[in-house]
């Protein structure tokens, strides 16, 4: 890359903690945020658990009127972005924002539909559209923090958060801004989504033991668990960050994006898209595969997905794959989709800072087909670089590499 990019602010709102420090502390305490769903009635649902943020009251963080103008995913994005932005100094016309989300305002859409069907008046309020549109999340953040630079919202399924980072980096490289706020957010614990994913047999059905339901790379895994959350990082050119004396957490070293061109929901069995995506990120970073010591995997606990990612990593890293430490933090948070692409990069940054790598919860009986060093206990390792993978429906692939700042 022509310009060195650095990360100077971070924010997280997750099922295991609000704020980066609380999120990290609970991750290191092997806490899970997956439990029975409280936000909706689950009596008629086949799946009754998810990774919800039970202690998040928007009115504790957002003025009452403004909170009422936002879908829940927007509230989570708004708070996470505020945390990250609080660590930096905004130059209004040289700062931009990219928001990644898979589901947009699905909560507002489904709630409005339920009320509309059940009402005799057949009226819909004026806030429906702005609460449903994905880009209004970026708008609300920009209004609050006086951000006038580039603004983009993208939807690349589970890769949305990682792709928000990639698009932010591209804008910085082209000189469109000196600072970018990359945000990912999701809140989709809704009956129609749960019913659809359950019918597709994508979700874990372990209603009897929710906290042990998400089992990435375990031979007894039976699907992923929905999660909700928000994540944000501030990315700057090194020149801009140093000029203002910024605290620098890590270098944004490389990024990759491509598509499988294979199937709307199933990953390529040969992992070709994932392989090429990771290779692209490594090439852009200007490093060798063996320079990476840790991968926070996509690792959703689906049968095909976990095996495909394992094979892809082995194809990219070759003999160096045996020296990698890998995990999936989705067993703690659930699959936060757009938010996960950001919070899992934050996890990589904290692992580089501390030399500690979180455990993959519930990995009790490793699948022989997932034969890399997926750690089930907290592991110490000095790291120069770490990679975060996010692979989504539609064959969307994202890989992000962060490194210790020199």
pLDDT of residue 243: 97
pLDDT of residue 115: 92
Query: Domain span at residue 177?
Result: 1-406
Catalytic residue among 240, 298, 348, 370: 298
- Let me know the angle formed at the C-alpha of 12 by 140 and 130, rounded to the nearest 5 degrees: 25
Q: How many domains does the chain have?
A: 1
Q: 54 an active-site residue?
A: no
Q: Which residues of 10-20 are buried (b: 16+ CB within 10 A; e: fewer)?
A: bbbbbbbbbbb
Query: CA 289 to CA 279: how far, in whole Å?
Result: 8
pLDDT of residue 269: 87
pLDDT of residue 1: 77
- CA-to-CA separations, 114 to 50, 103, 110, 190, in angstroms, rounded: 21, 18, 6, 12
pLDDT of residue 105: 97
Return the structure tokens found at 56.
């998040």
pLDDT of residue 41: 95
Q: 30 an active-site residue?
A: no
CA end-to-end span of the chain: 16
pLDDT of residue 121: 87
- The residues of the chain scoring below 70 in pLDDT are none
Region of residue 112 (phi > 0: left; psi between -120 and 50: alpha; otherwise: beta): alpha
- CA-to-CA separations, 73 to 1, 57, 337, 392, in angstroms, rounded: 33, 13, 11, 18
Catalytic residue among 240, 335, 348, 370: 335
The domain spanning residue 195 has which CATH number? Answer: 3.40.47.10
pLDDT of residue 293: 98
Number of residues that make up the chain: 406
Catalytic residue among 158, 214, 348, 370: 158
Q: 158 an active-site residue?
A: yes
């Amino acid at each position: 890359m022509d310009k060195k990019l650095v990360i100077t602010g971070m924010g997280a709102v997750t099922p295991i903690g609000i704020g980066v420090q609380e999120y990290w502390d609970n991750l290191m305490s092997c806490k899970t945020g997956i439990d029975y769903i409280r936000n909706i009635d689950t009596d008629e649902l086949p799946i009754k658990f998810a990774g919800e943020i039970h202690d998040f009251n928007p009115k504790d963080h957002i003025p009452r009127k403004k909170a009422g103008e936002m879908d829940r995913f927007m509230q989570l994005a708004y708070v996470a972005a505020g945390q990250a932005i609080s660590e930096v100094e905004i130059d209004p016309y040289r700062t931009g924002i990219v928001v990644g989300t898979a589901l947009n305002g699905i909560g507002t859409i489904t709630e409005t539909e339920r009320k509309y069907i059940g009402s005799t008046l057949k009226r819909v309020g004026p806030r429906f559209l702005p609460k449903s549109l994905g880009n209004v999340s970026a708008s609300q953040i920009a209004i609050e923090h006086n951000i006038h630079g580039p603004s983009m919202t993208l939807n690349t399924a589970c890769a949305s958060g990682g792709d928000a980072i990639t698009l932010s980096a591209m804008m910085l490289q082209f000189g469109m801004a000196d600072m970018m706020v990359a945000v990912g957010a999701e809140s989709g614990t809704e009956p129609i989504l749960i019913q659809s994913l359950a019918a597709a047999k994508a979700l874990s059905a372990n209603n009897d033991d929710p906290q042990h339901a998400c089992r990435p790379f375990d031979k007894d895994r039976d699907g992923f668990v929905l999660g909700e959350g928000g994540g944000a990082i501030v990315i700057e050119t090194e020149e801009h960050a140093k000029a203002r004396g910024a605290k620098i957490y890590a270098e944004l070293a490389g990024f990759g994006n491509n598509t499988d061109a294979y199937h709307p929901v199933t990953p390529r069995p040969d992992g070709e898209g994932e392989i090429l995506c990771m290779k692209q990120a490594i090439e852009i970073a200007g490093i060798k595969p063996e320079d990476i010591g840790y991968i926070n995997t996509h690792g959703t606990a689906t049968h095909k997905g976990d095996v495909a990612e394992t094979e892809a990593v082995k194809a990219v890293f070759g003999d160096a794959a045996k020296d990698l430490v890998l995990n999936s933090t989705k067993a703690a948070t659930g699959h936060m989709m757009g938010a996960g692409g950001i919070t899992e990069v934050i996890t990589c940054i904290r692992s580089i800072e501390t030399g500690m790598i979180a455990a993959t919860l519930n990995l009790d009986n490793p699948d022989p087909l997932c034969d890399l060093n997926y750690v089930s206990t907290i592991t110490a390792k000095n790291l120069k670089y770490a990679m975060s993978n996010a692979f989504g429906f539609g064959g969307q692939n994202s890989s992000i590499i962060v490194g210790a700042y020199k």
